[in-house]
Amino acid sequence: MTALLTVLVFHYVGAKVERRELALFLILEAALVVVFSALDLFLFYIAWELVLIPMYFIIRFWGGPRRDYASIKFFVYTFSASVIMLLGIGPLLRRRVI
């Protein structure tokens, strides 16, 4: 599903995609495939963090008139939620429950 949606996005956008944006979308797709196929909670968390990096730059490059504000807000909210997720995952990783 992730690969199909990526192809559909490229088809919709057409020739408007530059090299750096294509690279960001491919990194994003690779990280999303790892997120959706991770069997280990730690690998899921690392891949989830890797998804944030290209998304930040995609928002920064393609965003609207307030894209700088939106990209910083996206990063702050998702990073703070990721810290909370890490705090929840931490005890499970120490006990090797996962």
Q: Which residues contact 47 (CB under 8 A, 6 or more apart)?
A: 31, 32, 34, 35, 38
pLDDT digits (tens, 9 = 90+) for 49-75: 999 999 999 889 888 889 999 999 998
pLDDT number for residue 97: 57
Q: Which two tokens stand for residue 98?
A: 């996962």
Distance CA 26, CA 24 (A): 5
